[in-house]
């Protein structure tokens, strides 16, 4: 009896929302996305309303949405413009892992699927707990996660939370408390000083070039680079704050496990 009260035509500028709606079995409500929405695969069939930082208000309005979902301060102006013309807007701003869970519950409530949203969150938490227990790192692993190469940006809060949950040590966990990318900019010298054992690259919206690390001055002195312990994780499974983070966490875990075993053997050989 309440079905007509829930939004039936959703436009999302937040790249994670399609995966959330799919997990809630409500993907059919989505009528438009930004070009940066790439997950799940079905999203490629939806109309595009512009880039992540350059949404087109006219295209959005042409889709007759009864709800638009924006994200972060990047969408502050378009959010205000849509509100001024009478469009219902919800603005997400996930930063830590708890924010990811909270937004899934929020969207679940918006589309009348709160019970399903609670199940999705509980499943994510259980999967991560199981993954962390099964990992059991043989040796501590120092991690540098890079989400953009120029300027170099270290991992956002939920990525740092995943690294910590899996038993790794994010060398820039002190920067992860900041939501804005500009506040997580790091220098090549600072990375070199903190000596990561492994490097994960996940450049937002484009493939990573692992070879570039070997060309950065002085980085041959970094254990991860010297031993070529460099892994790429697709940005759509680790930098989009939705249920697909479990896939990204598994890729993090695989890299951590591999490097931890190598470090364990190396340290044992030194002791002998």
- The rounded distance, in Å, linking the Cα atoms of 72 and 93 is 5
Per-residue pLDDT tens for 28-84? 999 999 988 888 989 999 999 988 778 999 999 999 999 999 998 888 899 999 999
- The rounded distance, in Å, linking the Cα atoms of 223 and 139 is 15
Per-residue pLDDT tens for 147-161? 999 999 999 999 999
H or E stretch covering 109: helix 97-110
Per-residue pLDDT tens for 167-224? 999 999 999 988 888 999 999 999 999 999 999 999 988 899 999 999 999 999 999 9
User: What pLDDT, on the 0 to 100 scale, is given for residue 271?
Assistant: 61
Q: What is the mean pLDDT of residues 111-135?
A: 96
User: Is the distance from CB of 79 to CB of 91 less than 8 angstroms?
Assistant: yes
User: What pLDDT, on the 0 to 100 scale, is given for residue 268?
Assistant: 67
pTM: 0.94
CA angle 62, 65, 68 (to 5 degrees): 115
């Amino acid at each position: 009896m309440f079905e007509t009260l829930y939004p039936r035509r959703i436009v999302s500028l937040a790249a994670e929302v399609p995966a959330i709606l799919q997990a809630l079995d409500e993907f059919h409500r989505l009528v438009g996305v930004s070009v940066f929405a790439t997950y799940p695969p079905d999203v490629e069939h939806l109309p595009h309303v512009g880039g992540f930082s350059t949404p087109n208000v006219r295209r959005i309005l042409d889709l007759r949405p009864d709800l638009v979902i924006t994200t972060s301060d990047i969408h502050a102006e378009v959010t205000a413009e849509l509100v001024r013309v009478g469009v219902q807007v919800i603005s997400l701003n996930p930063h830590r892992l708890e924010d990811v869970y909270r937004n899934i519950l929020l969207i679940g409530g918006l589309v009348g699927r709160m019970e399903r949203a609670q199940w999705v969150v509980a499943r994510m938490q259980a999967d991560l707990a199981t993954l962390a227990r099964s990992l059991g790192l043989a040796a501590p692993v120092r991690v540098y996660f890079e989400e953009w190469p120029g300027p170099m940006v270290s991992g956002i809060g939920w990525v740092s939370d995943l690294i910590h949950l899996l038993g790794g040590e994010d060398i820039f966990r002190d920067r992860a408390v900041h939501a804005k990318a500009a506040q997580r900019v790091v220098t090549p010298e600072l990375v070199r000083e903190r000596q990561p054992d492994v490097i994960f690259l996940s450049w937002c919206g484009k493939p990573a070039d692992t070879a570039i690390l070997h060309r950065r001055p002085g980085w041959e002195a970094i254990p991860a680079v010297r031993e070529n312990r460099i892994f790429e994780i697709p940005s759509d499974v680790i930098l989009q704050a939705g249920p697909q983070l479990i896939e990204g966490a598994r890729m993090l875990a695989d890299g951590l496990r591999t490097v931890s075993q190598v470090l364990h053997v190396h340290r044992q050989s030194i002791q002998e």
